[in-house]
Amino acid sequence: MIYLDSSVALAHLLAEDRQPPASLWEETLFSSRLLEYEIWTSLHSRGLVESYGEAARWLTGRVALLELSPSVLARALNTFPGPDALRTLDALHLASCLYLVEHGQGVALASYDRRMNAVARAMDIPLFDPEASRTA
């Protein structure tokens, strides 16, 4: 099971230089409902809704989206390990991923964000390396 961060989803959707492997889409994918908002906000801000809207709907339809429950929101209010402060949405994503881990789900985080990956490592959350198509 893979927790999909918006950095990987947007890289795939917008065909950025770094691309997750095609095998990622064969995995069971989860993310926070934030993923949907981050994708659509990015498309709107770049004027790409018409050209990428259908692909965005496919991508978000492929991912099981977790709602921001009170326990997830409460966890995001707490500190996270590491020297670098997390951005708000990153803290919410990590709190969502941690929720899955704490409920016995074998989940790995797929992210291109080095701060999120460092915090995930410090919290013993496995990483899915979207560059190498394997769990790190």
How does the average pLDDT of the chain come out, rounded?
Answer: 92
pLDDT digits (tens, 9 = 90+) for 24-62: 989 999 999 999 999 999 999 999 999 999 999 999 999
Kindly indicate the confidence band of residue 127, based on its pLDDT and cuts at 50, 70 and 90.
very high
- List of domains in the chain: 2-135 (3.40.50.1010)
- Distance in angstroms (rounded) separating the CA atoms of residues 48 and 3: 25
Q: pTM for this structure? A: 0.91
Q: Tell which residue, 82, 90, 74, has the closest CA to residue 35.
A: 90
Q: In the prediction, which pLDDT does 134 show?
A: 42
**Residue 102's closest CA among 128, 135, 74?**
74
Tell the residue number behind the tokens 């979207």, with chain if given: 130
